[in-house]
Structure 1
């Protein structure tokens, strides 16, 4: 944000404004993590019965911070933080897990980076929409694929997976 402010103001931003930007950043870092309703229940139900993997994208330190604050890290066999979630990253993850693509199920809220790449490589994708989705993650697609399920909420996962 500071870099953007410097660019926008052509280097004329004042110290007070930079201090305000830093305070906003620190406030964001201190915010509590809000878990989506049902997420921990589903993780508890699946933990120990399946190898659960968190695959997320973004800044490494920020993603690690959020995962640690969430208290959910204990449920995961493996955590993968990448800069992009596209077919090559999913292929690499599947190879690391030593499984076949048809043994991999991705549950996510982004059709573009969670679901479509996994379906394209032969995996399964369950889409759980979220009321806010980053514009970059939106995909205009009606998916007609045998390995795809559109769910209303995360708890519906348990209707399709043996526990």
Structure 2
């Protein structure tokens, strides 16, 4: 018999839509720079900038906006018009004003598991924007603890599940990112349930830990109660 006392939930693209907002903004960015470069090349340059900048600006809209500006300067050989920079900044502000739309099955799942488990929301990114999304989602009422971290590592999960539960070995982490939500949680000794989203940011891609005895793949988040029943 497996004892699980604590459930960790990722936020972006696990509880609500997020990546598709970035994709829509990237399309808008490509339109602004269409006179200077092709969309495919622009996407490559933008991803390279994001990869460099995540170490300096962290994750989220602000870092993405700065990466778009940096990329615009590079692909135009420093000739990007001021009005294009203004449009990029406005696109970033629009992202931070975008409505938060919970994914299917999320609220009923949180309701179903709350009475028997401690629920911890573990999300990474810009503090201001993540707090906004948590509140706007209306899902904050289901969580005992909300943790916004700069990065998700095995030490992150080991620390948080010890602080807010009975340790990582008695915790299940649920999320859409293999790289951030599942692999480091497994390395910390927790169980991991991967709930895929239809699009994944390139910097969040990782190989599936097939064969790991604590790894599970779910069709949707609504299957979490069934998984917990199996494990108990």
Tell me whether the two structures share a fold, i.e. TM-score over 0.5: yes
The superposition leaves residues 8-40 of structure 1 with CA deviations (integer Å, 9 ceiling, x where unpaired) of 545543332222122212221221112111011
* Superposed structure 1 runs of 4+ greater than 2 Å apart: 5-15
More displaced 10-residue stretch of structure 1: 7-16 or 37-46: 7-16
* Structure 2: runs of 5 or more not aligned: 1-64
Contact 2:161/2:171 (8 A) holds in 1: yes
> How many pairs align?
162
Partner of 1:93: 160
Contact 2:153/2:184 (8 A) holds in 1: yes
Which one has more relative contact order, counting CA pairs under 8 Å at least 6 apart?
A: 2
* Structure 1: runs of 5 or more not aligned: none
Contact 2:118/2:165 (8 A) holds in 1: no
Task: Assess, with a 3 A threshold, how the Cα gap between structure 1 residues 153 and 30 changes in structure 2: closer, same or farther.
Answer: same
Structure with greater proportional helix content: 2
The superposition leaves residues 53-91 of structure 1 with CA deviations (integer Å, 9 ceiling, x where unpaired) of 111111111111111111111111111111111111111
Structure 1: distance between partners of 2:73 and 2:202: 25
Question: Please, what TM-score do these two structures have when normalized by structure 1?
Answer: 0.89
Question: Please, what TM-score do these two structures have when normalized by structure 2?
Answer: 0.64
Partner of 1:57: 124
**Is 1:147 paired with 2:188?**
no
